Amino acid sequence: MIVVTGAAGFIGSYITGKLNREGFKDIVLVDKFNEPSKKRNYEGKTYRALIDRDEFFTWLAQHEKFVQFIIHLGACSDTTGQGPEIYRQLNFEYSKKIWKACVKYGLPLIYASSAATYGDGSKGFDDDHRLLPGFEPLNLYARSKHDFDKWALNQPEKPYFWAGLKFFNVYGPNEYHKGRMTSVVLQAFYKIRETGEMRLFRSNRPDIADGKQSRDFVYVEDVARVIRFFMDNRKNPGIYNVGTGINRTFLDLAKAVFKSMGKTENIHFTDMPADLAGKYQYYTCANIGKLRSAGYRHEFYTLEEGIDEYIKSFLNTSSCY
């Protein structure tokens, strides 16, 4: 039995779908299942049970002998507009309880961290554990993820295998419910379909031109492949970057969306919202040397390949994975 938390969300529902396609049916989905906007993400999946996240630890105490793996992807992922207590409870305290349960019951654990923990990037994007205390996250979401990473590394008792995965900028099917926090790919698709144009943030830095802000954009299928790799290769526990190792600009992204939609490029710039000022990463790029050293050999989707598959196989048909 495999447990997936955050299973009604973006990455959680995608990995559930991937597990189903690979023949895994004995899966327990953990989340809050009272949001109709997320129902599409799990209603077509095969699973043993839906467990409310508030009831999960009671359920686990009764069924732990049947559980083989926990994939913990549940979190409050909104980077703006939430109070600190929400992040502390959902991203830090809940994750601590998951960790301690895995130690108690002898279960392997994969959990989601984030590239947001690296802050403005001035200290690099290296997943060497020795560097982790020096990073300075820019928002409460990133701080909660960073605090848990630090806590996990400092624990004298650890699951016999564990991997914390620092996801970079993930995009792909099943993210439709995320509102403002959807990927720029999805935002661009909707905007171009509705208006025929795309607006990108102007840069507030003189050394970076408008539209040249860049990210390590990673397609969700690549994220799922990394999770599957660690499920099958329970060696070298630790924290790992999950990105392509290549940064691409927002202009690159917008142009790729126009091309995949068969539309003429029409790109303009708008001022950055005030609530993002001082909390915005102008550059991210994963150092994936550690992941490669652990034995991961898959090539990653290029930005153009990922966007093309996302639009043509999912967005054009309003399909989930």
Q: Where are the alpha helices (DSSP H) in 48-183?
A: 56-63, 84-87, 94-105, 140-153
Res. 80: pLDDT tops 70:
no
Q: Which CATH number belongs to the domain containing residue 116 in this structure? A: 3.40.50.720
pLDDT band at 274 (very low <50, low <70, confident <90, very high): confident
pLDDT at 82: 67
* pLDDT digits 0-9 by tens, 96-112: 999 999 999 999 999 99
Global pTM? 0.95
**Could you tell me the residue range of the domain that residue 145 belongs to?**
2-172+217-245
Compute the C-alpha angle 169/69/10, nearest 5°.
Answer: 30
- The catalytic position among 141, 176, 240, 321 is 141
pLDDT band at 85 (very low <50, low <70, confident <90, very high): confident
40, part of any domain: yes
- Mean pLDDT of the 205-219 span: 96
pLDDT at 262: 98
311, part of any domain: no
Q: How many CB atoms lie within 10 A of CB 274?
A: 7
Mean pLDDT over each residue of the chain, to the nearest integer: 95
Res. 313: pLDDT tops 80:
yes
305, part of any domain: no
200, part of any domain: no
What is the number of domains present in the chain? 1
Q: What percent of the chain has pLDDT over 70?
A: 98
- Mean pLDDT of the 213-242 span: 97
pLDDT at 277: 72
Residues 6+ apart with CB under 8 A from 22: 228
Please give the structure tokens belonging to residue 305.
């390949």
Asked about 310 being catalytic, the answer comes back as no
Q: How many CB atoms lie within 10 A of CB 260?
A: 21
Asked about 141 being catalytic, the answer comes back as yes
205, part of any domain: no
Please give the structure tokens belonging to residue 22.
């690979």
- Mean pLDDT of the 221-237 span: 97
CB under 8 Å, gap of 24 or more: what pairs does 39-42 form? 39/8, 40/176, 40/320, 41/7, 41/8, 41/9, 41/10, 41/12, 41/13, 41/174, 41/177, 41/320, 42/7, 42/8, 42/13, 42/16
CA-closest candidate to residue 50, choices 66, 27, 69, 67: 27
CA-closest candidate to residue 38, choices 93, 85, 77, 69: 77
Question: Which of 37-41, 56-60, 140-144, 280-284 has the highest mean predicted lDDT (pLDDT)?
Answer: 56-60
pLDDT at 3: 98
Q: CA neighbours within 13 Å on the CB side: how many for 290?
A: 20
Reduced DSSP (H G I as helix, E B as strand, rest coil) percent helix, strand, coil of the chain, to 5: 45, 15, 40
38, part of any domain: yes
Question: Among 200-209, 213-222, 233-242, where is mean pLDDT lowest?
Answer: 200-209
pLDDT at 81: 60
262, part of any domain: no
277, part of any domain: no
- The catalytic position among 178, 191, 212, 259 is 178
